[in-house]
């Protein structure tokens, strides 16, 4: 017996819109993950509003409002319905809050007996394949070894295990080999039996590494084993298999790309890697070093391609902060050999990938993958204009300007099953995206849709300008709805080279957005987008180098006690001789706005992001010192520094660029002051 659906009332029709998080708190734009759901919800709200208006008009025309008893019953019914709806809403809010509370994760089920763990791990791998819709076969006929075969429509994955029984009470399961094959590929010419060719040795190694890490975590001693970590590794492997099943289904449709859905990433990676090798060589030559520093290469060249980093696709390392780069350098052994296919960078790619798999602090990674999209995301491939676009640029490798590649696309016939290549900045939703200013969001939109203008982003910004703050507020003060006009911070030199700097940042009047994912069609679009993101990340990391407080609130400046004593003759003489050391040096920080550009006819290269700092000259000289720090990919370190004023400063441009490169941009005014005329330091 089927249960009848509850009768829809005027009040219950609004129930889905009354949830506390029904609509996102931040502005929704085409490059937000929540765009499809939010657009659909807004359309439902419009339709529901029209239905409510029609129902109320109909009811008003039919009801007899002179009947006192009818009105009393309606009031009573409304009160009961409202109480019921309020109770249901409170329960939904409580359940939602409990289900989403942070720090709660159920770990992996682990057998109590160590002798049962190897068989358990083998069974889990087989269960993974079954759960994602693959056919599963286990071969246990050989003593001390297992084979699990996962089969899709054309994809076959063979996983070979061996059991080491040196300790009979604690056998150890190891992954001997993982091999993928695809029936759509032509037979291997070197194979005598004509078996299908392997899809990718990189994919084989990636899957083997994921299964090995899961088995290793499961077989650790109880004191060192983490069931939460094992569960996380299991979820990762399930996501990888689901993605391969998606590609397998698309590859079986020969008219929509066929085997290219599997082979396209492996085919384009050697080209991308070749460009990275050229840029690394030129960057190292500009600094007269054998290997290019990774942080400088990312500032000057294109994003570093890293295939099969976190998913069965390709990722792009876009930016790394000075702190993360230093931590990575400290963990790198000197004089490590460079792989034959790796760019000449100071951190080997293998060690870099191992580091990035365990941490994401201070790095910006974009992952290219196939995902379901909607009209809120999608831009047509025909809208791209690579011949007229100002991005990407090729400062280090002009010969690569002709490189391009179009990824396989589906025919747009079935809107419900529309997939597209997406550049994701959230690691599949695990992290927040990148804080972007409105002008750089416009620049990204012009990369993916040159003829579309920036109407969508501009329309959103017009609304934001009345209520929300700037992109600096979104970066420095995301949890506060108030938008201060200025921020202050006390910057102290780690080695006490100069007095504390009283930084005063003027917040720009420019809205901000969270960039999460972007649909792309060509490799040139990816390069162009990541150039814009790199510039924004460079500026974001500079601002995050200090602890900012809204002006007017108690902050670190109170750590410097006020000097209420009367000035002495010795202090006056120190001021006149230039040896007086002030308690604090005031520094005003500005972020110049980018000039507007014409969508069609402004083809000049856009100026890089800039930060300007002004501070007083060192006594007895009067006036101001203005320091401009600009991201410039044509400079040897990717940074250009200009100083106006600063009489007697003996810092060279190369030294100041190196200071900025190492994260000392906000302290540069103090370094210039310390090296100025009359310095005794």
Q: How confident is the model at residue 338 (pLDDT cuts 50, 70, 90)?
A: confident
The region that residue 648 occupies, defined by phi over 0 for left and psi between -120 and 50 for alpha, beta otherwise, is left
Q: What mean pLDDT comes out for the span 468-481?
A: 82
Predicted local confidence at residue 430, as pLDDT: 83
Predicted local confidence at residue 245, as pLDDT: 93
Predicted local confidence at residue 192, as pLDDT: 38
The pLDDT mean for the chain works out to 82
On whether the CB atoms of residues 143 and 149 are closer than 8 A, the answer is no
Q: How confident is the model at residue 190 (pLDDT cuts 50, 70, 90)?
A: very low
Evaluate if residue 548 carries a pLDDT over 70: yes
On whether the CB atoms of residues 533 and 366 are closer than 8 A, the answer is yes
Cα(500)–Cα(273) distance, integer angstroms: 45
Predicted local confidence at residue 250, as pLDDT: 87
Q: How confident is the model at residue 576 (pLDDT cuts 50, 70, 90)?
A: low
Q: How confident is the model at residue 48 (pLDDT cuts 50, 70, 90)?
A: confident
Tell me which of 25 and 88 has the higher pLDDT. 88
Evaluate if residue 131 carries a pLDDT over 90: yes
Query: Which run of H or of E encompasses 283?
Result: helix 260-287
Strand partners, 157: 150, 180
On whether the CB atoms of residues 148 and 138 are closer than 8 A, the answer is yes
Predicted local confidence at residue 458, as pLDDT: 47
Residue indicated by tokens 């500009």: 286
The closest of 530, 608, 532 to 365, measured between CA atoms, is 530
Q: How confident is the model at residue 77 (pLDDT cuts 50, 70, 90)?
A: confident
Residues in the chain: 681
Predicted local confidence at residue 464, as pLDDT: 40
- Per-residue CA distances from 219 to 124, 208, 233, 234 (Å): 14, 16, 13, 14
- Tokens in use for 80? 């009961």
Q: How far is CA 217 from the centre of its chain?
A: 27
Kindly report which listed range (4-8, 92-96, 662-666) carries the lowest average pLDDT score: 4-8
Q: Is 68 exposed, middle or buried (0-12, 13-18, 19+ CB in 10 A)?
A: exposed
Predicted local confidence at residue 130, as pLDDT: 94
Kindly report which listed range (352-366, 437-451, 468-482) carries the lowest average pLDDT score: 468-482
- In this structure, what is the dihedral angle of CA atoms 552, 555, 561, 567, given to the nearest 10 degrees? -40
Alpha helices in 468-559 (DSSP H): 471-476, 523-543
Find which of 9-23, 54-68, 634-648, 653-667 is predicted with most confidence, using mean pLDDT.
653-667
Q: Do β-strands 585-590 and 501-506 pair in parallel, antiparallel, or remain unpaired?
A: parallel
Predicted local confidence at residue 559, as pLDDT: 58
Predicted local confidence at residue 332, as pLDDT: 79
Cα(468)–Cα(620) distance, integer angstroms: 44
Q: What mean pLDDT comes out for the span 656-663?
A: 94
- Tokens in use for 296? 């400088």
pLDDT exceeding 70 applies to what percent of the chain?
A: 78
Predicted local confidence at residue 455, as pLDDT: 47
Predicted local confidence at residue 75, as pLDDT: 85
Q: What mean pLDDT comes out for the span 40-59?
A: 77
Q: What mean pLDDT comes out for the span 322-335?
A: 86
Predicted local confidence at residue 87, as pLDDT: 82
Predicted local confidence at residue 201, as pLDDT: 85
Q: What mean pLDDT comes out for the span 23-47?
A: 69
Give the SS3 label for residue 128. Answer: helix
State the angle between helix axes of 523-543 and 260-287 in degrees (0 to 180), rounded to the nearest 10: 50
Residue indicated by tokens 């090995």: 212
Domain borders along the chain are 12-60+71-92, 114-252, 260-483+511-530
Evaluate if residue 562 carries a pLDDT over 60: no
Residue-wise pLDDT for 494-503, tens only, equals 888 888 999 9
The closest of 198, 522, 588, 506 to 386, measured between CA atoms, is 522
Q: What mean pLDDT comes out for the span 451-472?
A: 54
Largest CA distance in the chain: 100
Tell me which of 10 and 518 has the higher pLDDT. 518
Buried b (16+ CB within 10 A) or exposed e, 174-207: ebeebbbbbbbbeeeeeeeeeebbbbbeebbebb
Residue indicated by tokens 């790309």: 257
Kindly report which listed range (116-125, 301-310, 569-578) carries the lowest average pLDDT score: 569-578
Q: What mean pLDDT comes out for the span 479-490?
A: 85
In this structure, the number of other CB atoms found within 10 A of the CB of residue 401 comes to 12
The closest of 634, 625, 629, 676 to 657, measured between CA atoms, is 629
Evaluate if residue 3 carries a pLDDT over 70: no
Alpha helices in 359-485 (DSSP H): 438-448, 455-467, 471-476
3-state helix, strand, coil in the chain (%, to 5): 40, 20, 40
Alpha helices in 435-556 (DSSP H): 438-448, 455-467, 471-476, 523-543
Residue-wise pLDDT for 345-380, tens only, equals 999 898 899 889 877 788 999 999 988 776 545 455
Residue indicated by tokens 């696309």: 409
Find which of 20-34, 296-310, 381-395 is predicted with most confidence, using mean pLDDT.
296-310
Q: How confident is the model at residue 193 (pLDDT cuts 50, 70, 90)?
A: very low
- Tokens in use for 500? 């504390």
On whether the CB atoms of residues 151 and 135 are closer than 8 A, the answer is yes
Q: What mean pLDDT comes out for the span 44-48?
A: 78
On whether the CB atoms of residues 219 and 117 are closer than 8 A, the answer is yes
- Per-residue CA distances from 228 to 113, 144, 217, 218 (Å): 19, 29, 10, 11
Evaluate if residue 325 carries a pLDDT over 50: yes
- In sequence order, what DSSP letters do the residues of 88-125 get, joined into one string? HHHHHHHHHHHHT-TT--------SSGGGHHHHHHHHH
pTM of the model: 0.82
Residue-wise pLDDT for 414-441, tens only, equals 555 678 899 999 988 888 899 999 999 9
Evaluate if residue 542 carries a pLDDT over 90: yes
Evaluate if residue 141 carries a pLDDT over 90: no
Q: Is 360 exposed, middle or buried (0-12, 13-18, 19+ CB in 10 A)?
A: middle
Q: What mean pLDDT comes out for the span 153-176?
A: 92
On whether the CB atoms of residues 47 and 8 are closer than 8 A, the answer is no
Buried b (16+ CB within 10 A) or exposed e, 11-37: eebeeeeeeeeeeeeebbbbbbbbbbb
Cα(13)–Cα(81) distance, integer angstroms: 12
The closest of 265, 267, 288, 284 to 276, measured between CA atoms, is 284
Q: Is 45 exposed, middle or buried (0-12, 13-18, 19+ CB in 10 A)?
A: middle
Predicted local confidence at residue 6, as pLDDT: 61
The closest of 356, 275, 345 to 315, measured between CA atoms, is 356
Predicted local confidence at residue 679, as pLDDT: 47
The closest of 412, 388, 436, 429 to 603, measured between CA atoms, is 388
- Tokens in use for 101? 């509370």
Q: Which are the contacts of 160, defined by CB distance < 8 A and separation ≥ 6?
A: 145, 146, 147, 175, 176, 177, 178, 179
Q: How confident is the model at residue 199 (pLDDT cuts 50, 70, 90)?
A: low
Q: Do β-strands 486-491 and 501-506 pair in parallel, antiparallel, or remain unpaired?
A: antiparallel
Evaluate if residue 4 carries a pLDDT over 90: no
Q: How confident is the model at residue 237 (pLDDT cuts 50, 70, 90)?
A: very high
Evaluate if residue 383 carries a pLDDT over 60: no
Alpha carbons within 13 angstroms on the beta-carbon side of residue 161 total: 29
- Tokens in use for 77? 């019914």
Q: What mean pLDDT comes out for the span 171-186?
A: 89
Predicted local confidence at residue 384, as pLDDT: 45
Find which of 143-147, 256-260, 531-535 is predicted with most confidence, using mean pLDDT.
531-535
- In this structure, what is the dihedral angle of CA atoms 212, 213, 216, 222, given to the nearest 10 degrees? -160
Give the SS3 label for residue 295. Answer: helix
């Amino acid at each position: 017996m089927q249960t009848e659906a509850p009768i829809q009332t005027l009040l219950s029709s609004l129930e889905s819109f009354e949830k506390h998080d029904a609509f996102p708190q931040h502005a929704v734009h085409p490059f937000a993950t929540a765009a499809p759901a939010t657009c659909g919800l807004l359309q439902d709200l419009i339709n529901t509003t029209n239905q409510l208006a029609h129902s109320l008009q109909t009811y008003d025309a039919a009801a007899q409002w002179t009947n006192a008893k009818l009105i009393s019953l309606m009031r009573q019914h409304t009160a009961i319905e409202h109480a019921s709806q309020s109770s249901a809403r409170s329960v939904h809010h409580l359940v939602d809050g409990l289900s989403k509370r942070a720090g709660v994760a159920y770990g992996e089920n682990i057998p109590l007996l160590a002798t049962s763990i190897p068989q358990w791990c083998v069974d889990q791998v087989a269960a993974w394949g079954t759960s994602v819709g693959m056919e599963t076969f286990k071969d246990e006929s050989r003593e001390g070894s297992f084979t699990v075969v996962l089969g899709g429509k054309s994809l076959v994955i063979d996983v070979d295990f061996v059991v080491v029984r040196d300790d009979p009470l604690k056998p150890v399961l190891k992954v001997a080999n993982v091999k993928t094959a695809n029936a759509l590929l032509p037979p291997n010419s070197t194979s005598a039996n004509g078996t299908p060719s392997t899809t990718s040795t990189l994919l084989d190694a990636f899957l083997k590494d994921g299964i090995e890490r899961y088995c290793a975590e499961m077989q650790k001693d109880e004191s060192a084993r983490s069931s939460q970590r094992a569960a996380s590794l299991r979820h990762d492997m399930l996501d990888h298999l689901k993605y391969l099943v998606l590609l397998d289904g698309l590859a079986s449709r020969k008219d929509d790309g066929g085997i290219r859905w599997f082979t396209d990433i492996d085919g384009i990676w050697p080209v991308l890697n070749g460009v990275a090798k050229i840029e690394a060589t030129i960057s190292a030559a500009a600094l007269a070093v054998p290997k290019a520093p990774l942080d400088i290469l990312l500032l000057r060249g294109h994003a570093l391609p890293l295939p099969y980093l976190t998913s069965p696709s390709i990722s792009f390392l876009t930016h790394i902060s000075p702190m993360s780069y230093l931590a990575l350098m400290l963990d790198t052994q000197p004089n490590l050999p460079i792989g034959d296919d790796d760019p000449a960078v100071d951190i080997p790619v293998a060690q870099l990938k191992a580091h990035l798999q365990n941490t994401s602090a201070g790095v910006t990674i974009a992952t290219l993958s196939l995902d379901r999209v909607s009209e809120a995301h999608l831009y047509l491939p025909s809208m791209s204009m690579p011949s007229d676009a100002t991005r990407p640029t090729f400062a280090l490798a002009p010969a690569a300007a002709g490189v391009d590649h179009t990824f396989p696309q589906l025919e747009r016939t079935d809107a419900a099953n529309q997939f597209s290549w997406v550049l994701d900045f959230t690691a599949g939703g695990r992290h927040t995206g990148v804080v972007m200013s409105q002008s750089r969001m416009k620049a990204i939109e012009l990369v993916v849709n040159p003829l579309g203008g920036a109407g969508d982003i501009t329309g959103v910004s017009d609304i934001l300008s009345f209520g929300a703050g700037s992109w600096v507020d979104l970066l420095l003060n995301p949890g506060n709805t108030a938008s201060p006009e200025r921020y202050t911070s006390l910057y102290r030199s780690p080695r006490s080279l100069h007095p504390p700097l009283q930084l005063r940042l003027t917040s720009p009047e420019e809205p901000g957005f969270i960039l999460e994912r972007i649909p792309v069609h060509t490799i040139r679009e990816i390069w162009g987008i990541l150039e814009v993101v790199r510039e924004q990340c460079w500026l974001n990391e500079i601002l995050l180098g200090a602890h900012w407080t809204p002006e007017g609130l108690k902050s670190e400046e109170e750590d410097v006690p006020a000097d209420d004593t009367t000035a002495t003759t010795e202090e006056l003489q120190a001021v006149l001789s230039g040896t007086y050391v002030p308690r604090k040096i005031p520094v005003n920080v500005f972020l110049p706005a980018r000039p507007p550009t014409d969508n069609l006819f402004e083809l000049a290269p856009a100026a890089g992001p800039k930060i300007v700092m002004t501070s007083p000259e060192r006594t007895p000289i009067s006036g101001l010192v203005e320091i401009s720090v600009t991201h410039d990919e044509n400079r040897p370190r990717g940074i250009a520094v200009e100083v106006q004023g600063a009489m007697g400063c003996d810092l060279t441009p190369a030294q100041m660029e190196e200071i900025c490169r190492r994260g000392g941009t906000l302290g540069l005014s103090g370094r210039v002051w310390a090296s100025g005329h009359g310095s005794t330091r």
